[in-house]
Structure 1
């Protein structure tokens, strides 16, 4: 590693906790400002997402390009994932099937195009921030610290979005759900060091939710998805060879 590269990564490596705090605070600040602008302008939810996430996406692209960290935060060829490891992604497909089993509501081409664009944006931003930058930074502490921190912050950020007057049971389920999703994706990132399948899952997951039939309260499908994610998390933890995965993601 050259002296220039070392200097560029020194803060990321030597001050991981401070780096994570700065990233999370900046994310929340931009989202809050974007939400305020959307409220003042009386924009709909998707427009609010565009206002909030577009500058974050541009900042991420500039930062990762300038520091040459695309590969280090997981933007790698899918061929880097061993064939046998693709089995660990099948439960993600099961989760997608579960959340989409109730069907879709009034799907039109224009609606699909609208939701595809902004769910791709959200998937890119959130995965790059939580399973890319934050997870990678905290790996300088330990694998456990990386997975726990990225998962908790992911759930915390989503919990703030849920403060909208819905019932306590629904809010609690959604917070636990986001925590488990965060843990599963973090563990997969630790295992393979590739963020592309995670962005794809995140994108499809959000797309199915936004196109699906809107439901109120907690239903059986929510509980089934929670059970799958909980079991899946345990399986991933037990399957990890810590010596190998640390070397893989640190490469």
Structure 2
């Protein structure tokens, strides 16, 4: 009887828990394939530069919403009330505000209100999808079986790798390298923040505003001084968060933490 019970419990173990690394690889590959196919279609049809993301991310966002709703997993992946963040922990979001100010200092181009509304929708969708995938699904899966260090580094690397696709857009090597490092440090800072506060909402808001500022920024600009300032801010932010987390008690496994939040 004990053997049957043990076998039954093992069979009910989710695949993501039995094979966390493979699960993460599958999610990343599916996202990359979706982006590559959407990019190829947009190129053939000579669509706008935003078309590949729209083609790939609209169905992905719908799948995520349906999945989180049917599984009743919104809270598990960090969709918590902002009031759940401890008042003293709000200070750890200050570097993100400074980073946004630096991005805004790059300047803006002229745009119509229709363009602005489109980019609000576009960047909000991108923020939701990328944060839910990388700081939600992938980070959550890794934290169930791996250390915080391994989970943060892996999710950040995968987030950075996804931006390799931008090399195909014809931008310079310097722009691409800076963007990869930018994505790596951003991914690490945001992952550390969700480990600390277990809340994905501020991350989506930051991602949304950051991308919106960039899309409404100067056309065709290369890497600026402010971009390097942001890199410095993000690096110091990661160090600050790591030191802060080291002072805290051992962080419970995600499975235990989410049971408490449910």
Q: In which range does the TM-score fall when normalised by the shorter chain?
A: over 0.9
Q: Deviations over 1:58-116 (max 9, x none)?
A: 11112222222211111111111101000000110100000111221003211110100
CA distance in 2, matches of 1:52, 1:248: 29
1:94 is aligned to 2:65: no
Q: Deviations over 1:156-188 (max 9, x none)?
A: 001222333322222111111110000000000
Q: Please say if residues 154 and 178 of structure 1, whose CA atoms lie closer than 8 Å, have aligned partners that are also in contact.
A: yes
1:70 is aligned to 2:82: no
Q: 1:186 aligns with which of 178, 183, 191?
A: 191
Q: 5 Å matches for 1:224-239?
A: 224-239=229-244
Q: Please say if residues 131 and 204 of structure 2, whose CA atoms lie closer than 8 Å, have aligned partners that are also in contact.
A: yes
Alignment correspondent of 1:39: 43
Q: Please say if residues 103 and 212 of structure 1, whose CA atoms lie closer than 8 Å, have aligned partners that are also in contact.
A: yes
CA distance in 1, matches of 2:250, 2:19: 24
Q: Please say if residues 74 and 193 of structure 1, whose CA atoms lie closer than 8 Å, have aligned partners that are also in contact.
A: yes
- Structure 2 length as normaliser, TM-score? 0.88
Please say which of residues 209-218 and 47-56 is displaced more in the overlay: 209-218
TM-aligned CA deviation for residue 244 of structure 1 = 5.0
Q: Which runs of 5+ in 2 are unaligned?
A: 1-9
Q: 1:112 aligns with which of 101, 109, 116?
A: 116
TM-aligned CA deviation for residue 201 of structure 1 = 0.3
Q: 2:228 aligns with which of 223, 228, 235?
A: 223
Please say which of residues 177-186 and 41-50 is displaced more in the overlay: 41-50
Please say which of residues 13-22 and 203-212 is displaced more in the overlay: 13-22
CA distance in 1, matches of 2:210, 2:33: 25
- Structure 1 length as normaliser, TM-score? 0.92
1:126 is aligned to 2:130: yes
Q: Deviations over 1:14-68 (max 9, x none)?
A: 2111110111111111111211222222211223221110111111112222222
Q: Please say if residues 8 and 67 of structure 1, whose CA atoms lie closer than 8 Å, have aligned partners that are also in contact.
A: no
SS at match of 1:176: helix
Q: CA RMSD in A?
A: 2.1
Q: 1:200 aligns with which of 200, 205, 216?
A: 205
Q: Which runs of 5+ in 1 are unaligned?
A: 1-5
Q: 5 Å matches for 1:44-63?
A: 44-63=48-67
1:246 is aligned to 2:252: yes
Alignment correspondent of 1:162: 167
Would you say how many aligned residue pairs link Structure 1 and Structure 2?
Answer: 248
Question: Larger Rg: 1 or 2?
Answer: 2
